[in-house]
Amino acid sequence: MYRIGQLAKLAEVTPDTIRYYEKLGMMSHDIRTEGGFRLYDEDDLRRLQFIRHGRQLGFTLEAIAELLSIRVDPAHHTCQESKSIVQARLAEVESKIAELQEMRNSLKRLNDACCGTAHSSVYCSILEALEQGAAR
């Protein structure tokens, strides 16, 4: 059994994060010491690591809660439910990658258009291009 600080350290989160997940109903703290301290077991650690890994992958807390409910009650869910959540996140990531690639290409064009010398920036091609782009 772990106290909240020990659990937090093992899962590499803060105790406040655990309390927040409890408030959202993603974690529970059914067991307490005589002194009122929350106690957690290995299942709680696994659940917290599941949530943390989901956050690292960029899932929303709502999506993680759905995945947790599928994990907790697999007899009433299908793999397609999990897959659709993952597919939605993958589509978001792919869209963001396309957006970042477009941004990279634009920045590269700006960079390539500038001679980069120490002359006055009165005729700086980067500043002119940004001004023209803002006027569109």
Task: Enter the pTM of the model.
Answer: 0.77
Distance (Å, whole) CA 124 – CA 58: 39
pLDDT in tens, 34-61: 888 889 999 999 999 999 999 999 999 9
For residue 10, count CB atoms less than 10 angstroms from its CB and return exposed for 0-12, middle for 13-18, buried for 19 or more.
middle
pLDDT at 116 over 80: no
Residue spans per domain, the chain: 1-59, 78-136
Q: Would you state the structure tokens that stand for residue 132, as one six-digit string?
A: 């023209």
| Domains 1-59 and 78-136 equal at CATH topology level | yes
Distance (Å, whole) CA 121 – CA 114: 10
Provide CATH code, domain 78-136: 1.10.1660.10
For residue 102, count CB atoms less than 10 angstroms from its CB and return exposed for 0-12, middle for 13-18, buried for 19 or more.
exposed
- Options 3.30.70.100, 1.10.1660.10, 3.90.1310.10, 3.40.50.720; which CATH number does 1-59 get? 1.10.1660.10
